[in-house]
Structure 1
Amino acid sequence: MKATWYEKTGPATDVLVVGEMVRPEPEPGEVLVRVRASGVNPSDVKARAGTRAGGSGMPFPRIVPHSDGAGVIEACGAGVDRSRIGQRVWLWNGQWQRAFGTCAEYVALPANQAVPLPKGFDDATGASLGIPALTAAHLVCSDGPVSGQTVLISGGAGTVGMLAVQLARWGGAHVVATARPGADTERVLAAGAHHVVDYANEGLEARVLEANNGRSVDRIVEVEFGLNIDADAGIIKPRGRIATFGSALCPRPELPFYPLMFKGVRLEFVLIYLLDDEERAQAISHVNQALESGALKVPVHARFVLADVAQAHQAVERGRRTGTVIVEIS
């Protein structure tokens, strides 16, 4: 089979190889998926570069990158219902703690990691769901229904932020988001936010409260925890929840302990790879329901063929994306 792999970390053009590998066979409890599209996430390019927080280097001698993907089940291992053969699926955690991910013509992985893709959606959409959409669903919905609540989405123009805006609106929340003025703001409003606040200006706390008619917010989805936690402490209501999935600009934050404590604020640090079975099933259900209802539109920033996988990684590294980066596997 055709595949991409690397055997050392470093720049994409230096270490990524495109060539032929032996096709895997599904073990008991696994399915073999013919991959049609592979999603590239920041965690994938950081792992390949050797700069991923919490771990670097080569955990396996050869790595086929990428956790997300979509395709068709072609074979089943022992114990898996053979009626799944021919089913279109989207994939999650394809390369999490495994050597071989989705950037290949075939991947074998546990059957529960191949989720039926709702009818009417293309492979690029399916390959965009594993990390971004499940992260957004857990950030917004893990603490219960959001109907009638106000949810603040920090960084609403990012891939996860854009999906979180849509999921919060689908769930019946009043959605306030932050974004740059101009095109980003227009995109976030089009995704369903009721109000968008420029995060670059001073006075973020006051402007968010103004957008919510002076009321504190029930939940905050935070992409820059260290940078925004002081403002968040003033914005969140008593017993509110802050769920964060990033702190790139301030990786060692100082917490305003007493403002958070005297509100009884609940903090959750979200790493989507580590959800338990119940949390994962809930997030998957929310994503597929929102897709089927037409409430979730997954933006694709760029598409690349397998031979240009290094350029796909570079597109993610450059940032300022308007959606996911997809490698199409012919």
Structure 2
Amino acid sequence: MSDTMQAIVYDDFGGTEQLVLRDVPAPTPGPGEVRIRVLRAGVNPVDWKVLSGGLRGLLTHVTPIVPGWDAAGVVDAVGPDVPEYAVGDEVLSYARKDWVQEGTFAELVTVRAVDVARKPAGLSWDAAGALPLAGLTAERVLDAVEAGSGDTVLVHGASGGVGTLAVQLARLRGARVIATGSPSGHDRLRALGAEPVAYGDGLVDAVRELAPDGVDAVVDLVGGVMEQTLAVLREGGRHASITDHGAGEHGGRWVWVRPDGARLEALAQRVVDEGIDVEIAASFPLSDVAGAFEQSMSGTTRGKIVIHVAD
């Protein structure tokens, strides 16, 4: 095993100027863990929110921190008691640990074997790196609102990485989907099977025109839309948010997604079998995670940004 690896590291909270590419000790897999040689790592808004210190009240942080929670690559080493994986296996993982320290924007990362999924042969490396957190989030938030056949579901923030997957997964459940997004992205949302409406003051009227009796469920992926959510929700309707911690105070749910290797493996296979599109907005090298974060922070990204760590 190599003693060192290259990784993006920061020693203090702040902006992207804190991010530095440097050599750090390579992790060693413990009991029940595998070590993944990372080929692709997905960028999620939570990554730069952690960098800014936004999750200090939720998770323990240990510096120096390697950011990143999504990984796709090849098993490089296995710890004791991991009979289900072998060196050379192609895998992906939502690799979040119970504390913030050793992330996936690195050449190597250790992950609990139960949080690892086998990569289907038909899934590209870019899609494998982009899928874990966004895909599991989309599934969990749709579960939270019990989206099913015959429902009309409103998805706030449908053009992003989670949103594009939520639209497709809701449609596969048999739901009708109304999706918010900027007008420039409406053709794309239509292609995914959604009925798009624009953000802004006219959103409530636009949704009511499409669903005069109200929608059955609302999925909030952006935050700050509780008033609009309640205004279009029919009596007895369900709503959930991945950003609004106070959703429960209004009869909804706040969704925090935990790693789940078995569910991720099933989802990855569905992506291949059912033609689900994991849209890749941009790819950045490991040396330019700062650039990837800045694009993500712009709020204009459609789909997912991936870090190209290695071939």
Please say if 1:8 is aligned against 2:15: no
Q: Which amino acid aligns with 1:153?
A: V
Match of 2:41 in 1: 38
Answer whether contact 2:145 2:218 (CA < 8 A) is retained: no
Kept after mapping to 2: 8 A contact 1:167/1:290: no
Kept in 1, the 8 Å contact 2:145–2:219? The answer is no
Amino acid at match of 2:197: V
Match of 1:222 among 220, 223, 227: 220
How far did residue 308 of structure 1 move? 1.8
The aligned residue for residue 149 of structure 1 is: 151
Identity rate, percent: 31
Greater length-normalized contact order (CA 8 Å, ≥ 6 residues apart): 2
Alpha-carbon distance, 1:55 to partner: 3.4
The residue aligned with 2:206 is 207
Deviations 1:205-261 (A, max 9, x none): 33213213x2322211013454x32332232233321011125xxx889x9x8xx6x
Q: Counting strand residues as a fraction of each chain, which structure ranks higher?
A: 2
Q: Distance in 2 between matches of 1:128 and 1:8?
A: 26
Give 2:254's aligned residue. 269
CA distance in 2, matches of 1:77, 1:53: 30
Opposite residue 23 of structure 1, the aligned amino acid is: A
Q: Is the 8 A contact 2:123 2:268 kept in 1?
A: no
Write out aligned runs for 1:21-60 (5 A).
21-50=24-53, 52-53=54-55, 55=57, 59-60=61-62
Task: Name the CA shift for 1:197/1:302 in 2 (closer, same or farther; >3 Å).
Answer: same
Structure 2 partner of 1:309: 289
Shift of the 189–231 alpha-carbon distance from structure 1 to 2, 3 Å rule, reads same
Partner of 2:305: 325
CA contact (8 A) 1:73 1:84 kept: yes
The offset of 1:60, in angstroms, is 1.0
Partners of 1:302 and 1:145 lie apart in 2 by 30
> How far apart are residue 58 of structure 1 and its match?
8.2
RMSD: 2.6
Task: For structure 2, list consecutive stretches of 5 or more residues without a partner in the other structure.
Answer: none
Contact 2:117 2:265 in 1 (8 A): no
The one-letter code of the counterpart of 1:131 is L
Which amino acid is the alignment partner of residue 223 of structure 1? L
1:263 alignment partner in structure 2 = none
Partner of 1:234: 231
Secondary structure class of the residue paired with 1:61: strand
1:134 matched residue in structure 2: 136
Summarize the Cα distance change of 1:328–1:220 in structure 2 as closer, same or farther, 3 Å threshold: same
Instruction: Determine if the alignment matches structure 1 residue 290 to structure 2 residue 270.
Output: yes
Structure 1 residues 71 and 5, CA gap change in structure 2 (3 angstroms)? same
Summarize the Cα distance change of 1:189–1:72 in structure 2 as closer, same or farther, 3 Å threshold: same
Q: Is the 8 A contact 1:170 1:290 kept in 2?
A: no
Conserved? CA contact 2:147–2:170, under 8 Å:
no
Match of 1:128, SS state, is helix
Aligned mates of 1:327, 1:161 — CA distance in 2: 20
Question: Residues 222 and 37 of structure 1: is their aligned pair in 2 closer, same or farther, counting only changes over 3 Å?
Answer: same
**TM-score, normalising length from structure 2?**
0.88
Q: Offset of 1:150 from its aligned partner?
A: 1.3
| Conservation of the 8 A alpha-carbon contact between 1:118 and 1:291 | no
